[in-house]
């Protein structure tokens, strides 16, 4: 039997969103010192790992394409997330980061790509690398784009109702399951597996 995976959105699921100083809206962290893991992430990812799931991080990071920060800064932030995860004893088996944005102002990155969620490109690519069976796999995210990408890849989805990103969940995707946080999302996945 092929292994199963849980695909994890990053911002608002694995690490906390950060209030934008100007708009007040909760956004992806843009400075390494702003990276904070959500509560219980070490335990949550450890439970998935123990249940046999491969863990893949799939994250849209368009800030460089928009000219807000350099690509290197986004890579440093991703490295910081992984460092903090390592501190709590867990790690991703693979990571996919989409640096594109269709309205981006930076050449090469300002393109319409196949990887930016809601498209499933990052999930499909990670699934190929890990050799996983998508139909038994799950996507955990906090926006409709995450759920849509998970469904398009052929996975089941759990939408985490992170308060700061409520405006990115307009209910257009109702095919998935909802959870209050990562801890409850993981419980749902483990319970579904136990119930066959």
Q: Which residues bind Mg ion (CB under 5 A)?
A: 9, 11-12, 142
Among 26, 35, 64, 98, binds Zn ion (CB under 5 A): 98
Q: What is the DSSP letter of 195?
A: T
Q: Are 21 and 149 in contact (CB under 8 A)?
A: no
CA–CA gap between residue 29 and residue 131 (Å, rounded) = 31
Stretch that binds Zn ion, among 15-23, 82-90, 108-116, 133-141 (CB under 5 A): 108-116
# residues contacting Zn ion (CB under 5 A): 5
Residue from 52, 124, 57, 53 nearest 85 by CA: 57
Q: Which is nearer to Zn ion, 12 or 118 (CB)?
A: 118
Residue from 102, 100, 18, 3 nearest 56 by CA: 3
CA–CA gap between residue 139 and residue 153 (Å, rounded) = 9
16's contact among Mg ion, Zn ion, none, with CB below 5 to 8 A by partner kind, is none
Stretch that binds Zn ion, among 46-54, 91-99, 175-183, 187-195 (CB under 5 A): 91-99
Q: Which is nearer to Mg ion, 11 or 173 (CB)?
A: 11
Q: Which is nearer to Zn ion, 112 or 135 (CB)?
A: 112
Q: Are 150 and 7 in contact (CB under 8 A)?
A: yes
Shortest distance, CB of residue 110 to Mg ion, whole angstroms? 21
| Residue ranges in contact with Zn ion by CB under 5 A | 98, 100, 113, 115-116
């Amino acid at each position: 039997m092929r292994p199963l995976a849980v695909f994890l959105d990053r911002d608002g699921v694995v690490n906390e969103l950060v209030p934008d100083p100007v708009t007040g809206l909760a956004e992806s962290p843009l400075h390494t010192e702003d990276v904070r893991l959500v509560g219980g992430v070490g335990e949550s990812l450890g439970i998935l790992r123990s249940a046999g799931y491969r863990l893949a991080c799939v994250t849209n990071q368009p800030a460089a394409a928009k000219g807000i920060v350099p690509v290197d800064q986004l890579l440093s932030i991703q490295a910081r997330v992984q460092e903090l995860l390592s501190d709590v004893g867990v790690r991703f088996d693979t990571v996919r980061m989409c640096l594109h944005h269709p309205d981006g102002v930076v050449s090469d990155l300002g393109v319409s790509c196949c990887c930016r969620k809601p498209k499933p490109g990052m999930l499909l690519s990670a699934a190929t690398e890990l050799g996983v069976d998508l139909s038994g796999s799950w996507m955990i995210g906090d926006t409709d784009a995450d759920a849509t990408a998970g469904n398009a890849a052929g996975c089941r989805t759990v939408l985490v109702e992170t308060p700061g990103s409520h405006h990115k969940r307009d209910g257009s995707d109702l095919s998935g399951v909802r959870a209050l946080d990562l801890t409850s999302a993981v419980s749902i996945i483990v319970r579904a597996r136990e119930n066959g």
